[in-house]
Amino acid sequence: MNGYLDMELLRFTTAGSVDDGKSTLIGRLLYDSKSIFEDQMEAVRAASERLGNEAVNLALLTDGLRAEREQGITIDVAYRYFATPKRKFIIADTPGHIEYTRNMVTGASTADAAIILVDARNGIIEQTRRHSCIAALLQLPHVIVAVNKMDLVHFDRDVFLRIRGAYAAMAARLHLQHVHCLPISALEGDNVVTPSTRMAWYEGAPLLSLLETLPLRETLDDRPARFPVQYVIRPQTAAFHDYRACAGRIASGTYRVGDAVTVLPSGTQSTITAIDEADRPLHEASSPRSVAIRLADSVDVGRGDMIVKSSELPLVGAHIRLTVCWLHHRPLSVGARYIVRHATDELFGIVRDVHYKVNMNTLENVAGEKTVRMNDIASIELKTSRPLKYDFYRRNRITGSLVLIDESTFETVGAGMIAEQPDASDLGTNFSDLGTETSDLGTETSDLGLETSDLGLETSDPGLGTSDSFD
């Protein structure tokens, strides 16, 4: 058991257009790696017969919703877990239909790699470009391009090479970090778990071997220390009469007893006297542990504040430039006001400008369009009701990302990634320069009259980001 718990974990997501074979690929991967229980297989066989399939439909292992099985498409994100002797895996099977692109963003937000499927008959299409663009925005370390349905093109090497060349050109424009390309047939199992005898011309490793050997994403332990405060623990009991600690999850970096720290946005300085995890004290703690930090001074700290090392201050500012993935059918427009959720903080923000949108066909930045519709990717300027404590996403996924929430329906409408601004004079300032006008925003976050849990969002892994290619 300890060996299993200590194994490396790789999170990956699948993406691609409708009917490119994402769910079938995952089903084949689970089946050929012997990660399916017999009762699960019997249930899939029975469901396949009931739906009139000629053979066992492995896609049913992940397509669990009735609508998904009836329509033969993926609608919601489905998570599956499996392990090999070398590594543990969490798979996020995401939808391919353009209407559900927002679900792809959700599934990829915490992934270490993305498998983007391309139908060998159709080549690279708009959804391929859109999903690759999102992978670039999220700065996924690895993108695996799986050219699927090679059996329908008679395992033709030239077809694969043509698609690989076209994708390499696109990847260069998007600044994707590490791209791997391989030909597969998810339906028949070629190059999924074992090498294909029908594609002897391909000398690379099959998909599972590649997943087992991909380098994992670098940890955030060596990044500047960031501790968003979730809750202040004050038991007020006889046993813990004077106990007061700030609880939360370390977003990045390492904290040690004795560290000089600064509480933002107040700028108050103090020293860490103790770090507690459950019922035991720690001398040091690193990301992503959940701990309670005790300070030497009685500092005014609350939810939404951030404790940082005094030598590693973040940027602080109320004018933020974002790359946003718009997730809602109601368009974003200049002047609109939204609830901004950043780490554990909540406040209001107004869209001041839309700098450009990304054309998914040409991958060019198109200036002049001020309306951002569902599934659009755009660069916008946001003014917040009070300064944010943030880093650029390329430096920190947690403190460099935020979500926009509709203030009337509390629906999540946009995923924002804090980008570096072209003019350095527009960047955030140190905590001592917090002068910001907020009168035009009208309302403070406290007027919302609800707890953060009411918004229906997790705060531990917002994990959304941007890349320099769209700044």
For 347-386, the pLDDT digits (tens) are: 999 999 999 999 888 888 999 889 999 989 999 999 999 9
Mean pLDDT value across residues 185-200: 92
Q: Return the higher-pLDDT residue of 58 and 469.
A: 58
Residue 456 has pLDDT above 60, yes or no: no
Residue 65 has pLDDT above 90, yes or no: no
Using alpha carbons only, give the angle 402, 88, 252 rounded to the nearest 5 degrees: 35
For residue 20, the model assigns a pLDDT of 81
For residue 174, the model assigns a pLDDT of 92
For residue 220, the model assigns a pLDDT of 77
For residue 21, the model assigns a pLDDT of 82
For residue 76, the model assigns a pLDDT of 59
Mean pLDDT value across residues 193-200: 94
Residue 439 has pLDDT above 50, yes or no: no
Minimum mean pLDDT range among 73-82, 303-312, 395-404, 417-426: 417-426
Q: Return the higher-pLDDT residue of 330 and 28.
A: 330
Residue 345 has pLDDT above 80, yes or no: yes
- Spatial distance between the Cα atoms of 259 and 225, rounded to a whole number of angstroms: 11
Using a pLDDT cut of 90, give the percent of the chain over it: 56
Say how far residue 223 (Cα) sits from the centre of its chain. 18
HSE value, Cβ hemisphere, 13 Å, CA-based, for 302: 6
Residue 465 has pLDDT above 60, yes or no: no
For residue 198, the model assigns a pLDDT of 95
- Spatial distance between the Cα atoms of 125 and 118, rounded to a whole number of angstroms: 8
Residue 163 has pLDDT above 90, yes or no: yes
For residue 94, the model assigns a pLDDT of 79
Q: Return the higher-pLDDT residue of 321 and 420.
A: 321
For residue 432, the model assigns a pLDDT of 36
Minimum mean pLDDT range among 179-188, 326-335, 452-461: 452-461
Q: Which residues contact 269 (CB under 8 A, 6 or more apart)?
A: 260, 261, 262, 263, 310
For residue 451, the model assigns a pLDDT of 36
Query: What 3 state SS string does the chain have?
Result: CHHHHCCCEEEEEEEECCCCCHHHHHHHHHHHCCCCCHHHHHHHHHHHHHCCCCCCCHHHHCCCCHHHHHHCCCCCCEEEEEECCCCEEEEEECCCCHHHHHHHHHHHCCCCEEEEEEECCCCCCHHHHHHHHHHHHCCCCEEEEEEECHHHHCCCHHHHHHHHHHHHHHHHHHCCCEEEEEECECCCCECCCECCHHHCCCCCCCHHHHHHHCCCCCCCCCCCCEEEEEEEECCCCCCCCCCCEEEEECCECEEECCCEEEEECCCEEEEEEEEEECCEEECEEECCCEEEEEECCCCCCCCCCEEEECCCCCEEEEEEEEEEEECCCCCECCCCEEEEEECCEEEEEEEEEEEEEECCCCCCEEECCCCECCCCEEEEEEEEEEEEEECCCCCCCCCCEEEEECCCCCCEEEEEEECCCCCHHHCCECCCCCCCCCHHHCCCHHHHCCCHHHHCCCCCCCCCCCCHHHC
For residue 207, the model assigns a pLDDT of 95
Mean pLDDT value across residues 410-418: 94
Contact between 466 and 394 under an 8 Å Cβ cutoff? The reply is yes
Q: Return the higher-pLDDT residue of 106 and 329.
A: 329
For residue 241, the model assigns a pLDDT of 78
Peptide linkage before 265 cis (omega within 30 of 0): yes
* pLDDT tens, residue by residue, 111-148: 999 999 999 999 999 889 989 999 998 889 999 999 99
Mean pLDDT value across residues 340-353: 96
Range with the largest mean pLDDT of 1-5, 63-67, 75-79, 377-381: 377-381
The reply to whether the predicted model has a pTM over 0.95 is no
Range with the largest mean pLDDT of 8-22, 217-231, 283-297: 283-297
For residue 2, the model assigns a pLDDT of 53
Residue 196 has pLDDT above 50, yes or no: yes
